[in-house]
Structure 1
Amino acid sequence: MKTKKLSALIALTIAWSGMATAQEEIIFGISATPNSLQGQSAYEFQRRANEKLGDLGEVKVFDSSQLGKDKDMLQKIRLGTMHITLPSSIMPEIAPEYAIFDLPFLVANRDHLARMDETLFSNTLVPAAEAQGYRPLAVWENGFRQITNNDRPINVPADLEGLKIRTPNSSWRVSMFEEWGANPTPMAFSEVFVALQTGVIDGQENPLTNIAGAKFEEVQEYLSMTGHVYSPAYPTVGIDTFAKLDSKIQTILSETAQEVAVWAREQGASQDDDLLTTLTEAGMQVNQADRAAFVEASKPIYQKFADEVENGQAMIDEALALAGDGS
């Protein structure tokens, strides 16, 4: 009997030891490609977080919509089948306040964004997402969005007339392109290359990092530098799923997400010129759009936000005040 009890005790000790040293596997799913800035940021987060986590856990990134489209992954972080995702333009569908970043030409530059991060994001946007069961940990860069198509250069909004332009699944982005005369076509990012290649759509709009990362230069002729919207990306967790993690893991993930926010802005600024050169050398015809014409045509979008989003005008006023000399 003593031998059996000793054996059972040893087995229990081994099992307990295994449980104590087991790492938490932290699943991070993104829709972007690995060589886009969103992808680079996710892997930089993985590297930094894993250095700090040690035996506590391990972050594993799954890029290119391996774990589903953005909407699917947002559902999964709430259900607990994954831990972190990186939504961008879909966030206004979660909380309308995030449509502040769908207002054309609102963000003057990356310094302006940093000031919005410290105030508007923390005080207004985070609570709005938390009310829906999500917690964005930081504001990362997606970038300033430009328009590509296969028909003609886009200099003024009238040049978009009748063109089928892919947009993210954002009602605000759809409204913007409708206002400019285009035929906006919401579509998951993972489907865009083939849709462009087969002529299902005429063009799309994305930051240079996503255009180059997805190799759209292979299926698009014209690149029009509109810079119409600055799109953040938000490393986001489901509140209930996140709460189940060890408190030390929560702290490490939160702090690392903030660190990577600064890194991502620096990377975005340094990569813009190189990406434009790469796309030009690949054969894309580049033109600088008439900013003033687009700004004038965008006034109804600001009015729509002020009318439809609670405290919308106050949010606009705060964001513009934070622009400083860059506005």
Structure 2
Amino acid sequence: MGRMPQLACAILGAALIAGTASAQSVEIKFGHVGEPGSLFDQTAQEFAKRANAKLGDKAKVVVYGSSQLGGDSEMLKKLKLGTIDLALPSTVMTTVAPEFGVFEMPYLVQNRAHAARIRDGVIKPILAPIAQKQGYDIIAVWENGFRQITNSKRPIKEPEDLKGIKLRVPKGVWRVRMFQAYGATPSPMALSEVFVALQTGVMDGQENPLAQIYPSRFQEVQKYLSMSGHVYTPAYVTAGRSWTKLSPEVQKIVKDTAVEMEPVALEIAAKLDDDLLGKLKAAGMQVNTVDKAAFLKASRGVYAEFAKEVPTGQELIDKCLALSKNS
């Protein structure tokens, strides 16, 4: 009989140890497509460092960059399945809800101060609830950045210069339409596939923020960098099905830290833009400015189509533009 209480204690002790181990081994998987040194990488790593300091042994945010958990579309599916916990989608959100296409409108976002007002005045109150209905919980809004055009053929100064250029674009209908309007031949492709496509000539060019261009080493296979700044894309810190399985305390720490990172992401982005332009020039890229008025004129049709096809399209455009007047 004396052995039974002893055995019970041993079982209970083992259960408690297992429980402690499982609490410590809660891994919050955070995936993104950025290469080491990119804006995505820097913001995600800083976020993980801050969150983990607060989480202690409750859970641990582990960042998986460089498309280790898949491209943007694949990670959206994994969020739905609950096999990853957080992702950092950008343009691909237009495949979740057409309203996100408002950020595909050329030259809509004037600067980062304007972007912050749009984040608080449009994304969080209007777009985040739409995404939530589709099973995606946007817990914070960071940055992908102002996009520039690179190619191996010629400097792009006006839309006409894009005629005949095979251009990689991210997944999403509006970027395709925009560059078709400019005369290019755009093709959607995962970021992880772009370097080889440029290297082999399958694609002549691509468009991305400097904070994706340099870490992706596109300067090794592209001669011309045209500072078009044609689109500013937010990046959405997005949780999926597994989010609700985390304890309320862990959820709060993670969300609060992601929100705390919002202004930090904008600061890192601004600094990267300055640093990387110099590095891209030093790497031998020929840099030019573009005729933004000509690009804006060529963009009118895209604005008109968005306003016509998306029920609240014009309203979203107007809300974003109204917030620029406070700049």
Would the TM-score normalized by the shorter structure come out above 0.5? yes
Q: Distance in 1 between matches of 2:269 and 2:30?
A: 21
The equivalent residue for 2:46 is 44
Secondary structure at the aligned position of 2:150 is classed as strand
The equivalent residue for 1:90 is 92
Q: How does 1:70-81 map to 2 (within 5 A)?
A: 70-81=72-83
Secondary structure at the aligned position of 2:175 is classed as helix
TM-score, with normalisation over the residues of structure 1?
0.97
In the alignment, is residue 125 of structure 1 matched against residue 140 of structure 2?
Answer: no
The equivalent residue for 2:57 is 55
Check conservation: 2:43, 2:268, Cα contact below 8 A. Answer: no
The equivalent residue for 1:257 is 258
Q: 182, 185, 188: which is aligned to 2:187?
A: 185
Give unpaired runs (5+ residues) of structure 2. none
| Paired amino acid for 2:53 | E
Give unpaired runs (5+ residues) of structure 1. none
Secondary structure at the aligned position of 1:27 is classed as strand
Deviation of 1:319 (Å): 0.4
Paired residues, what number?
325
Deviation of 1:20 (Å): 3.6
Q: How does 1:1-327 map to 2 (within 5 A)?
A: 1-21=1-21, 22-23=23-24, 24-238=26-240, 240-324=241-325, 326=327
| Paired amino acid for 1:221 | K
| Identity value in percent | 52
Q: Deviations over 1:37-91 (max 9, x none)?
A: 0111111111011001001100001110111111111111111111001111100
Secondary structure at the aligned position of 2:109 is classed as coil
Q: Distance in 1 between matches of 2:156 and 2:120?
A: 35
Deviation of 1:18 (Å): 2.9
Deviation of 1:325 (Å): 5.1
Q: Distance in 2 between matches of 1:155 and 1:141?
A: 26
Deviation of 1:16 (Å): 2.0
Moved >3 Å (runs of 4+) = none
Q: Deviations over 1:249-291 (max 9, x none)?
A: 1101111111111101011112212111100010000000000
Q: Deviations over 1:153-200 (max 9, x none)?
A: 000000000100000011111111111110001100000001100000
C-alpha root-mean-square deviation of aligned residues, in Å? 1.1
Q: Distance in 2 between matches of 1:176 and 1:138?
A: 27
Secondary structure at the aligned position of 2:246 is classed as coil
* Higher mean C-alpha deviation, range 263-272 or range 142-151: 263-272
Deviation of 1:229 (Å): 0.1
| Paired amino acid for 2:72 | D
| Paired amino acid for 2:29 | I
| Paired amino acid for 2:295 | F
Secondary structure at the aligned position of 2:280 is classed as helix
Deviation of 1:36 (Å): 0.5
Secondary structure at the aligned position of 1:55 is classed as coil
| Paired amino acid for 2:204 | D
TM-score, with normalisation over the residues of structure 2?
0.97
